[in-house]
Amino acid sequence: MKSKEWLNRQKNDPFVIKAQNKGYLSRASFKLLEIEKKFHFIRKSNNIIEFGSSPGGWCQVILECNINAKITAIDLSEMKLKHGNIQFIKKDFKTIDYKSLNKKYDLILSDIAPNTTGHKSTDHLRISTYIHDIIDLLNLIAYKNTNFVIKIWKGTEEKLIIEKLKSQFQKVTYFKPNASRKDSSEIFIVAQDFII
């Protein structure tokens, strides 16, 4: 998308305007708010990890819904949000030694997004690689009954991802928040109750 088109879209986007009015760091906050409204994961989670956390719009929502939540936030870019309950790790998530972190989480969130090329199937394959990598970490970071919410851009790898998740969770569904642009292939996969 050309930068002028992008600026126009931002200027007229009701969720961008709402985010500015409410003091959210990104319009993405509304997606997590909708997910929470439907599934109530945050309020019952003490320890939460977020992959792709910057600038911090989702962390704002987590702390708004559960001020006692302890968050491990991971991103390549700096977080704008600083808070005593957030342990921020500024790294490529693939380079972190999760064994030495020695932590498990009640809720695993991923809004991670690789840089886009504009070529739909390439972008889909890139985000799918990230998702497979995160799924491979589940045995280290998930408890029995942990919930997992992950963003994907729809495409061919999805079937395999859903199959993998179905073998590891009690229930797997899709959720498309209203704040997710209608013309975007973005959708969230919601996997409930990790089976050890």
Q: Provide the annotated active-site residues.
A: 151
CB of 176 to ligand SAM, least distance (A): 16
x-or-dash string of contact with ligand SAM, 65-94, rule CB under 6 A: ---------xxxx--------------xxx
Q: Could you tell me which of 108, 111, 150, 154 has the C-alpha nearest to residue 132?
A: 150
Determine contact, residues 16/27, Cβ cutoff 8 Å. Answer: yes
25 is a contact residue toward ligand SAM (CB under 6 A): yes
CB of 58 to ligand SAM, least distance (A): 4
Region of 193 on the Ramachandran plot (φ > 0 left; ψ -120 to 50 alpha; else beta): left
CB of 50 to ligand SAM, least distance (A): 7
Could you give the 3-state DSSP secondary structure of residue 129?
Answer: helix
57 is a contact residue toward ligand SAM (CB under 6 A): yes
How many Å from the N-terminal Cα to the C-terminal Cα in the chain?
A: 43
Please report, as ranges, the residues that interact with ligand SAM according to CB under 6 A.
Answer: 25-26, 28-29, 52-58, 74-77, 92-94, 111-114
